[in-house]
Amino acid sequence: MTTADLIGKIIQLVGGLAIFAAVIGVLLLLLGRAPRRGRNIWQILGFLAPAMILLTLGLIYPAIRTTLLSFTDRNGEWNGIENFVWMFTQPTILQTLLNTVLWVILVPTVSTIVGLAYAVFIDKSRGEKIYKALVFMPMAISFVGASVIWKFVYDYRAGDRDQIGLLNQIVVWFGGEPVQWLQSSPINTFLLIIVMIWIQTGFAMVVLSAAIKAIPADQLEAAELDGTNAWQRFRNVTLPGIRGSLVVVVTTITIATLKVFDIVRTMTAGNFGSSVIANEMYTQAFRANEPGRGSALALVLFVMVLPIVVYNVRVLRQQREIR
């Protein structure tokens, strides 16, 4: 970047900040001079304006720009739906879509079930706080950090070299030959999924544990007096009582899973049939110099996330109406 380019970017940044400050100044001025009847409206607009401006610049405009780019080729020329035809006809991309579906099915399901089981079993037990901290600890690690840890677990050393990977060392102890886990498809996809489950289980456990503790004790006591066993109380009292939290946990983990990028990029870079949509979007847009294809993948990812968000909003609205 030349000095002139740098100066130009600085001028653009300063100009943008000046325009933003001017808009806020005008709004504040109007707030001071507005009649009392309309002052509340101007106050609402004044408080919302900064957020709306940032939302427009950071979300709405990029979304529109990405949608338009998805219908263009690498030269920026309009090519209709060619990018989408390419997406659903290339075997590698179809494998990527299949991998994403596997992630979305397995990660939320297993994470929620394991987190719920753990929350139920350690509820009101001795050392509950320590047990919760141990399971929640992976949430404090970045996806890249967790990927590096698990990459050591799956590490492979050829020949007679000592295995530093825990999984291959166990295989050697039982008389087997070490395996290149991360290069073996499709097992590598499931091994990457395990990393995400390891991270998200702590989140599911904490949220569901809090929901379980919020269930009125008299409901459980009444069910116990009626002669129900532990499973019946769990199925008929606990599960209905934490339904809202279950929806939040499943949808949150599902959205996070659809956007997963760090784990795949760090451990396999999407090679050996392990790529997912977010990683392929990055690869096409920034590695293969195909921004149109990358944008098309981003648009498909958005379409996959949207129904989950809509469902979550509807469930929360229904619960609010019941209350």
At residue 311 the predicted structure's pLDDT band, cuts being 50, 70 and 90, is: confident
Strand partners, 72: 78
Mean pLDDT of the region 251-268? 92
Specify whether the CB–CB gap between 106 and 197 falls below 8 A: yes
Q: What does the pLDDT read at residue 309?
A: 79
Specify whether domain 84-322 bears CATH 3.40.640.10.
no
Q: What is the mean pLDDT of the chain?
A: 84
Query: pLDDT (tens digit, 9 = 90+) per residue, 208-253?
Result: 999 998 888 888 888 888 888 888 888 888 888 888 889 889 999 9
Quote the CA–CA distance of 279 and 85 in Å, as a whole number. 19
Band (pLDDT 50/70/90 cuts) for residue 181 is very high
**Predicted pLDDT of residue 312:** 76
Domain ranges of the chain: 3-69, 84-322
Q: How many CA atoms lie within 13 A of 205 on its CB side?
A: 26
Cα distances (angstroms) measured from residue 130 to each of 90, 115, 133, 134, 163: 49, 15, 5, 6, 32
Asked whether residue 41 carries a pLDDT value surpassing 80, the answer given is no
CB of 275 closer than 8 Å to CB of 99 = yes
Question: CA-to-CA distance for 300 and 307, rounded, in angstroms?
Answer: 12
Please name which of 108, 281, 283, 91 lies closest in space to residue 193, comparing C-alpha atoms: 108
Give the whole-angstrom CA distance, residue 150 versus residue 294.
Answer: 28
Q: Do 175 and 199 contact (CB within 8 A), yes or no?
A: no
The phi-psi region of residue 289 (left if phi > 0; otherwise alpha if psi is between -120 and 50; otherwise beta) is left
